[in-house]
Amino acid sequence: MKKAPRLDKHVDKDVILCSTTNHRVSNHATEILIRDAIPFTKNWKRIPFYKREAYRGAAEVCVFSINRNLYGKARRSIEQLGRTDRDRILLNVI
């Protein structure tokens, strides 16, 4: 009898890599992740009016999600951003 293939324990487990409210930084991060062949999802979420003070008045926030197995590679890629861009992005630590 053949054994069933064993799946990795992190299949279908996405984690948040980073978030930003700046469109330019979002585009730069997207370019870097695509260049390094890292699959990701990018979602813009609307911020409720009463919570905008915590986000310095921004109306929406961009959230990048990746597979847990690629977190280290993606983090190293995001660190290639320029200093001003890195100051405007919030990295999530897992």
The answer to whether residue 71 sits within a structural domain is yes
pLDDT value of residue 4: 72
For the stretch 14-30, what's the b/e string if a residue is b when 16 or more beta carbons lie within 10 angstroms of its beta carbon? ebebbbbbbeebbebbe
Can you give the pLDDT at residue 7? 64
- In DSSP terms, which residues pair with 14 in a beta bridge? 67
Q: 52-70: per-residue pLDDT in tens?
A: 998 888 999 999 999 988 9
Domain containing residue 68? 14-91
**CA 46 to chain centroid:** 16
Q: Is residue 44 part of a domain?
A: yes
Regions of the chain with pLDDT less than 50: none
Going from the C-alpha of 15 to that of each of 37, 66, 87, the distances in angstroms are 17, 6, 21
CATH number at residue 56: 3.30.70
| 26 inside domain | yes
Q: Residue 13 has what pLDDT? A: 77
Confirm whether 76 is domain-assigned.
yes
Domain count, the chain: 1
Q: Tell me if 3 is assigned to some domain.
A: no
Query: Does 8 map to a domain?
Result: no
